[in-house]
Amino acid sequence: MASASRTFTRALRTATPSFRATSTRSSARFVAPTQTAFRQQWQRGYASGKETEDGADKYEGNPTGLIAGAIALLAGAGAYGLYTQKPELFGQEGKKKVFVARFEDYQKVYDAIAKRLEEHDEYDDGSYGPVLLRLAWHASGTYDKLTNTGGSNGATMRFAPEGDHGANAGLKAARDFLEPVKEAFPWITYSDMWILGGVCAIQEMQGPKIPYRAGRSDRDVSFCTPDGRLPDASKDSGHIRAIFGRMGFDDRAMVALSGAHALGRCHTDRSGFSGPWTFSPTTLTNDYFKLLLEEKWQYKKWNGPKQFEDVKTKTLMMLPTDMELVKDKSFRQFTDLYARDNEAFFNDFRDAVVTLFELGVPFQQPEDQRYTFKSSFD
Ligand code: HEM
């Protein structure tokens, strides 16, 4: 295009040898450059070579040059059109279209995770679901409302300092599980994918629908949070309130969130604790609250950290922090509620999880336009 216009300018010069002089002179007479005045000036400059005595312009140019100029202009325009439509013909890659993912795209990622969950039933109690949920929770649970740091935006657990925090032991299994999904959908960020993994895990383990927003970005190692932001299972209710209060949660939400321990198990080679909380560790129910209240719990006699076991079967476990939900009066009222009302648990759990997964994320997607994914049961 640039060379076409150069050709055109050259052609003009041939056509009107006095173009530049006339033009300059005309410009000097510019006082109020209205459009009409400019058009007249320009037409003068273009068409005339010399002013006659009565002021009328007399044409002195070369018409062959003019025609050549017009042809060059047309050819240039054609070439430019072709360039914009088919840049590859010019050896250019062209402008890459920016991919904007929509609901359908995220649903595809959801489906891919759900498919992998179904295929890989060799893990633990038959599902990667619990550890996927734990990954999403640990990515989000580092949030500090005072400094607005941490949270699921960033996926900083990819980096050694945070990935190596004691609380995150074993979560590599979840991150590795999701890696092929990232390869299949490279446009999604790790941070959006990890949270989508948590949403998918809850829904596929028959929990409530968890509305989801996308828009997290992956950040560098400098955004890793300091160790100690996640809860320590050997502590009491004061610690639970300090940790979850720092994220902005109240007692009710703390108890609702703890209901996630209906799922999965503790591993001696990860946290040091051992065993599942319920008899159905791959299905989300309010059984965790029921068992907390209905079973008799005693200290487990073993060479490991202090934990509880059910007197009857000695196959289930509770962490010291779990027992606080019965001991602490304020926590207890919600434990009672959720034990007798699964719907109340599901509703409060959904609301608290949506909040948890969105802590500290600067979303563009409005709150009233969250995505609700179809699960494989729908
Ligand atoms: C006081 C709060 C909490 C404490 C002290 C705590 C502690 C623990 C510990 C020690 C484990 C065992 C890890 C292992 O050995 O593999 C565990 C597992 C788990 N936690 Fe929590 N947790 C808390 C809150 C939560 C919350 C809020 C969620 C989710 C909303 C959650 C979801 C899970 C899940 C799903 C597992 C099972 C992981 C698996 O099976 O691999 N936890 N938690």
pLDDT of residue 41: 36
**How far is Cα 197 from Cα 83, in angstroms, rounded to an integer?**
43
pLDDT of residue 201: 99
Q: Is the pLDDT of residue 86 over 50?
A: yes
One DSSP character per residue, 300-340 reads --SSSSS-EEETTTS--EE-HHHHHHHHSHHHHHHHHHHHH
Instruction: Read off the amino acid at residue 201.
Output: A
More confident residue, 361 or 33: 361
pLDDT of residue 65: 59
Q: Is the pLDDT of residue 195 over 80?
A: yes
Distance in Å, CA 261 to ligand 1 centroid: 6
Q: Is the pLDDT of residue 188 over 80?
A: yes
- Which atom of ligand 1 lies nearest, measured to the CA of 272? 15
Q: Is the pLDDT of residue 316 over 70?
A: yes
3-13 confidence digits (pLDDT tens)? 444 443 344 34
Is 138 annotated as catalytic? yes
- Give the residue, by CA position, lying nearest to ligand 1 atom 28: 260
- Give the residue, by CA position, lying nearest to ligand 1 atom 3: 231
Q: Which of the listed residues 143, 243, 266 should we mutate to test ligand 1's pocket, taking the one with most ligand atoms within 8 A of CB?
A: 266
Is 277 annotated as catalytic? yes
- Choosing from 137, 194, 277, 297, which is the catalytic residue? 277
Distance in Å, CA 370 to ligand 1 centroid: 26
Domains of the chain and any CATH numbers: 2-90 (no CATH), 103-369 (1.10.520.10)
**How far is Cα 193 from Cα 205, in angstroms, rounded to an integer?**
18
- Contact between 314 and 308 under an 8 Å Cβ cutoff? The reply is no
User: In whole angstroms, what separates CA 279 from the centre of its chain?
Assistant: 34
pLDDT of residue 68: 63
- Give the residue, by CA position, lying nearest to ligand 1 atom 33: 134
- Give the residue, by CA position, lying nearest to ligand 1 atom 7: 233
- Choosing from 138, 165, 261, 297, which is the catalytic residue? 138
- Which atom of ligand 1 lies nearest, measured to the CA of 231? 5
Q: Which of the listed residues 131, 137, 346, 351 should we mutate to test ligand 1's pocket, taking the one with most ligand atoms within 8 A of CB?
A: 137
Distance in Å, CA 265 to ligand 1 centroid: 8
Distance in Å, CA 135 to ligand 1 centroid: 9
**Mean pLDDT, range 319-330, rounded to an integer:** 98
State both tokens at 333: 């009222």
Q: Is the pLDDT of residue 196 over 60?
A: yes
Residues flanking ligand 1, CB < 6 Å: 130-131, 133-134, 137, 170, 231, 233, 240, 257-258, 260-261, 263-267, 270-271, 273, 319, 321
Rounded percentage of the chain residues whose pLDDT exceeds 90: 74
Max CA pair span of the chain: 119
Q: Which of the listed residues 261, 345, 359 should we mutate to test ligand 1's pocket, taking the one with most ligand atoms within 8 A of CB?
A: 261
**Mean pLDDT, range 72-101, rounded to an integer:** 67
Q: Is the pLDDT of residue 299 over 60?
A: yes
Distance in Å, CA 141 to ligand 1 centroid: 11
Q: Is the pLDDT of residue 71 over 50?
A: yes
Distance in Å, CA 321 to ligand 1 centroid: 10
Q: Is the pLDDT of residue 321 over 90?
A: yes
pLDDT of residue 21: 33
Q: What is the mean pLDDT of the chain?
A: 85
- Give the residue, by CA position, lying nearest to ligand 1 atom 8: 233
- Give the residue, by CA position, lying nearest to ligand 1 atom 6: 233
3-state secondary structure of 95: coil
Assign 96 a pLDDT band (cuts: 50, 70, 90): confident
- Give the residue, by CA position, lying nearest to ligand 1 atom 27: 257
214-249 confidence digits (pLDDT tens)? 999 999 999 999 999 999 999 999 999 999 999 999
Its pTM stands at 0.79
Assign 45 a pLDDT band (cuts: 50, 70, 90): very low
Q: b or e along 301-322 (b: 16 or more beta carbons within 10 Å of the residue's beta carbon)?
A: eeeebebbbbeeeeebbbbbbb
Distance in Å, CA 132 to ligand 1 centroid: 11
Q: Select, from the ranges 22-31, 38-47, 218-227, the one with the highest average predicted confidence (pLDDT).
A: 218-227
Sheet containing 297-299: order of strands: 297-299, 308-310, 317-318
243-289 confidence digits (pLDDT tens)? 999 999 999 999 999 999 999 999 999 999 999 999 999 999 999 99
